Amino acid sequence: MKMFNPSHTTIRILERIALTAGLFAFVLCILIMVNYYQLRRSDPLNTPGIKILVERLNSNPEDEQLKQQIRELDLLARKAFFTNRWQIKTGGYLLIFTIFVLVSSLKTIELIKPRLPVLPSDEKETFWNNRLLNRKWLSYSGIGLLVFALVFAFLSYRQLGKTLELSATNPAAAKGENTESVSPTANQTGAVSDSSSVSDTASATATAAWASWDELKQNFPGFRGPGGNGIAFQKNIPVQWDGKSGKNIKWKTAVPLTGYNSPVVWREKVFLSGANNSKREVYCYNALDGKLLWTTAIEKIPGSPAASPKVNSETGQAAPTVATNGNLVFAIFANGDIAALSMDGKISWSKNLGLPKNHYGHSSSLLVYQDLVIVQFDQSGNAAVLGLNSTNGEIAWKTSRDVKVSWSSPILVNTGSRFELILVAEPYMISYNPKTGKELWRIESISGEVGPSAAYADGIAYSVNDYSKLAAIKVGSNPTQLWESDEYLSDIPSPLATSSYLFLPTSYGTFVCYDAKDGTKYWEKELGSPTYASPVLVDGKVYQLDKKGVMHIIRPDKVFASIGEPQLGEGSVCTPAFSDGHIFIRGDRNLYCIGK
């Protein structure tokens, strides 16, 4: 009877595994090298199809349908681009794992394989010399092929990274072309118009994938403007209007659902969100005439809680302001639902981040940075800040935070050497790399249930909270506190900083101006009404809206100087948004457009 030898069966299995791993590793190596040469020969973000469409657009710059086709085609190219990056990175790791399997299998075979029969001395020496030589050639060839493939994988990944970086910082440089700046202007009748045209591929792709920093500045893409810092860059902003008589009120229109979020403006479109206990919606209005262009319900999201959370009446179910990168609009609600919508209202992706655990309701507004949507999610016992991929909603990075629950929003600042993401929540002000979520620095500066966001100007960041303190922090690897004050504090509106002044509104209606560098108080002004909106510096003036709907327009100076106090005729708790020549204000019931 023939005896079964388990070692022979194991050897055959291991030999098949080794052969399969070897063939798979060889195919991976070839694919990685071929991919590298393809990348060297073509630009993955500048496809021939986009070039043809842009050439057609040059001859017909007002063709909105053609612009949308360019955006959609470029979005597909961007998705393929990021998929390629993931494939290269995964392929490299997979190759290393496959080689490990191959080597492990061969080594195991050697250990369990029966010893060879005794050979004559002359044959034995020849056998072992040949075996050693074969092993050397096999080892050197395998190692060489592995190193060669990994080098090509690294070069491919770096090449894609360079393309991405050039596209983000200077789209034209990535393609060796010139671009025209895109800026909304006012037409002869005073209505908002878009006089820009896409003059080349770089302009089209920058608009389609994500907006450059210059484009963000030319629009009003989120809460408190680009970067969320309360600085806007529009011109010809009106200083006189009257809601009751209709003076300089271009239009007003009712908003279907309640929301304490602020308007967001991108060219000729204005975005808002609204919600109650049963419905969550995003709205888009025509900035020219106030017509409601579309309403999109955010519903049936996997993981979304069956019932809306209990929230404070002054927070509501739709407190966070939406954000846009010029291609998609992003909205988040009190139940943790977040969604991305196209500019015509179609849902691109949606997900639930988990039910926010706080006792007022989620209110941190969203922020865009390149291809990311930044979410400050400081919930009780599980605080974090997330960077979501704007095209598919996947988590690009997530950084846990050892802070208490907060309701403030993140800000994005350019320190001169880099962009920093600055967040405040008890007990820290913390700065992060917005691309990776890596912490850059932190300092203890605040306490309590934090509502106001930070402010920044000229290398100094400011934090404030009621029953805490107002603190000025010199930013850097080793941040230091320059000065502090506890005379006037805020629990809702955020401060506003310039290189010379710090402006601080309190929710009970006092407006204060400090020296930004040393904290000297220059003046204080009673507004006559509480205020929840945050101030915005635009066109050389500070605009501060109070709860009665009175806009306090102030000249930034050491001495208080009022430019005007026009009235909306309706109460408001929302920070205004701006485009050239226009102001957009969300009142308690209506959305207003104010223009000269």
Spans of all domains in the chain:
6-175, 213-595
How open is the CA angle 48-50-56, to the nearest 5 degrees? 105
Q: How many CA atoms lie within 13 A of 30 on its CB side?
A: 6
Helix axis angle, 64-112 to 121-169, nearest 10°? 160
- Helix intervals (H) in 210-310: 213-218
| Alpha carbon separation from 20 to 11, 16, 17, 147, 398 (Å, rounded) | 14, 6, 5, 20, 37
Which amino acid is present at 37?
Y
φ/ψ (deg, to 5) at 419: -90, 140
What is the per-residue pLDDT for 30? 76
What is the per-residue pLDDT for 44? 54
What is the per-residue pLDDT for 176? 34
What is the per-residue pLDDT for 566? 98
Alpha-carbon torsion, ordered 179, 185, 187, 189, to 10 deg:
170
What is the per-residue pLDDT for 52? 74
424 token code pair: 């405040």
**Helix (H), strand (E), coil (C) string for 303-351:** CCCCCCCCCCCCCCCCCCCCEECCCEEEEECCCCEEEEEECCCCEEEEE
CB 584 within 8 A of CB 577: yes
Other CB atoms closer than 10 Å to residue 4's CB: what's the count? Answer: 7
- The CA distance from 481 to 334, in Å, is 34
Helix axis angle, 6-41 to 64-112, nearest 10°? 150
What is the per-residue pLDDT for 394? 95
| Alpha carbon separation from 27 to 23, 34, 95, 146, 595 (Å, rounded) | 6, 11, 10, 11, 64
Return the bridge partners of 515, or none.
501
φ/ψ (deg, to 5) at 130: -65, -40
- Helix intervals (H) in 442-508: none
Tokens 């400090």 belong to residue: 514
For 342-349, the CB contacts below 8 A with 24+ separation are 343/71, 343/266, 343/269, 343/284, 344/68, 344/293, 344/294, 345/282, 345/284, 345/293, 345/294, 345/295, 345/296, 346/296, 347/296, 347/298, 348/391, 349/391, 349/392, 349/393
| Alpha carbon separation from 87 to 22, 156, 373, 510 (Å, rounded) | 20, 11, 23, 56
Tokens 């993931």 belong to residue: 86
Per-run averaged pLDDT (10 residues), the chain, 596 residues? 58 77 74 65 58 67 65 62 64 74 71 57 57 58 62 57 44 36 33 33 44 91 97 97 96 96 97 96 97 96 91 91 96 96 96 91 95 95 94 96 96 94 98 97 96 97 96 96 96 97 96 98 96 97 98 97 97 97 97 95
Q: Is 173 in a helix, a strand, or coil?
A: helix
What is the per-residue pLDDT for 134? 56
What is the per-residue pLDDT for 184? 34
CB 585 within 8 A of CB 572: yes
CB 268 within 8 A of CB 288: yes
389 token code pair: 């991929």
**DSSP of 519-552, one letter per residue?**
--EEEEEE-SS---SPPEEETTEEEEE-TTSBEE
What is the per-residue pLDDT for 203? 37
Name the pTM for this structure.
Answer: 0.68
Helix axis angle, 201-209 to 121-169, nearest 10°? 100
Residues near 303 by beta carbon (within 8 Å), at least 6 away in sequence:
351, 352, 354
φ/ψ (deg, to 5) at 285: -115, 150
CB 36 within 8 A of CB 152: yes
Task: Provide the CATH number for the domain formed by 213-595 in this structure.
Answer: 2.130.10.10
- The CA distance from 367 to 364, in Å, is 10
H-helix or E-strand containing 269?
strand 269-275
Q: How many CA atoms lie within 13 A of 567 on its CB side?
A: 9
How open is the CA angle 146-152-154, to the nearest 5 degrees? 100
Tokens 């080349």 belong to residue: 200
- The CA distance from 374 to 354, in Å, is 16
